[in-house]
Amino acid sequence: SLLPPLLALLCLGVADPNPDPDRDPDEPWCPYKVGGDGAAAAGARLCFRPPARGFQCSARGCRAHRSAGGALVANVLRNGSVLLQWGLRHWGPPPPRPSAALRGFVLNCSWDGTYTRFPCDSVELGAACRDYLLAEAHGSVRYRLCLQPRYAPPRPAPPAQCVEFRVEPAAMRDIVVAMTAVGGSICVMLVFICLLVAYITENLMSP
């Protein structure tokens, strides 16, 4: 198949270096384009990524944040990355006419600064996309991500659904883990000391 070399040429470095041998070759890829402001948006490249099928957010290494409408979910992972997932059924019924087909999605990002809110790079995603990965999210920053589907005329675009979350910094996670381990060790030592004192009091000391 000429599809993998073509995708590598279209977006160098985005293709998975360790492809899954069990992945269906006919599974649709997710085309997306990351843009910014001004010249950065005009020079954005079209890239492709495989979908994250079957991902489940486990409570031990992930925290899920859902939008008010339930269509958009932000899975905040322990490594600082965020996997976004969404479905169309929460945006209402499908269009009645085939002409009003789904054209894609628009993802807008912003984060809170000290005095104002700063915009992140916007992302345009194809109609086959149902997830997107934010590889590097800054810790201790509150993000707001809004996703809106786009349909062909005459159907108007439904309202965007937004999700807000905060990524816990890696240093804070390490401190919490270390404090938990030290606190657990101290509790175990105190229990042994109490048992030892009780044994000495009951058996070794004279009445």
Tell me, yes or no, whether 53 and 129 share the same domain: yes
Residue-range definition of the domain harbouring residue 176: 169-206
Q: Which amino acid does the sequence have at 102?
A: L
Beta pairing partners, 151: 102
Confirm whether 8 is domain-assigned: no
**16 three-class SS:** coil
Its pTM surpasses 0.85: no
Amino acid 192: pLDDT: 83
Amino acid 93: pLDDT: 63
**Positions of E strands within the chain:** 30-35, 46-49, 62-66, 72-77, 82-86, 102-112, 117-119, 122-125, 131-134, 142-151, 161-166
Tell me, yes or no, whether 152 and 178 share the same domain: no
Cβ-based neighbour number of residue 125 at 10 Å: 24
| Positive/negative CA dihedral, 102, 66, 130, 170 | positive
Structure token digits, residue 132:
């997107």
DSSP state of 95: P
Q: What's phi and psi for 58, nearest 5 deg?
A: -85, 145
Are the C-beta atoms of residues 171 and 138 closer than 8 Å to each other? no
Confirm whether 20 is domain-assigned: no
Tell me, yes or no, whether 71 and 112 share the same domain: yes
What's the CATH number where 114 sits?
A: 2.60.40.10
Tell me, yes or no, whether 70 and 138 share the same domain: yes
Tell me, yes or no, whether 159 and 174 share the same domain: no
Tell me, yes or no, whether 82 and 183 share the same domain: no
Which residues are CB-contacts of 169 (< 8 A; sequence separation ≥ 6)?
Answer: 139, 140
Amino acid 130: pLDDT: 92
Tell me, yes or no, whether 161 and 131 share the same domain: yes
DSSP state of 121: -
Tell me, yes or no, whether 180 and 117 share the same domain: no
Tell me, yes or no, whether 164 and 175 share the same domain: no
Tell me, yes or no, whether 69 and 161 share the same domain: yes
pLDDT in tens, the chain (207 residues): 444 444 444 343 333 333 444 444 556 789 999 986 544 445 568 899 898 888 888 878 888 999 988 899 999 988 888 999 998 877 766 655 554 688 999 999 888 876 677 888 789 999 989 999 988 777 778 899 999 999 888 778 888 999 998 887 754 455 555 567 777 788 888 888 888 888 777 776 655
- Quote helix, strand, coil % in the chain, to nearest 5: 25, 30, 45
**39 three-class SS:** helix
Confirm whether 18 is domain-assigned: no
Residue 149 CA to residue 124 CA, distance in Å, equals 10
Amino acid 12: pLDDT: 37
Confirm whether 4 is domain-assigned: no
Tell me, yes or no, whether 137 and 95 share the same domain: yes
Amino acid 36: pLDDT: 65
Cβ-based neighbour number of residue 137 at 10 Å: 20
Indicate the number of domains in the chain.
Answer: 2
Confirm whether 11 is domain-assigned: no
**201 three-class SS:** helix
Confirm whether 148 is domain-assigned: yes
Tell me, yes or no, whether 37 and 138 share the same domain: yes
Looking up tokens 């079209």, which residue turns up? 46
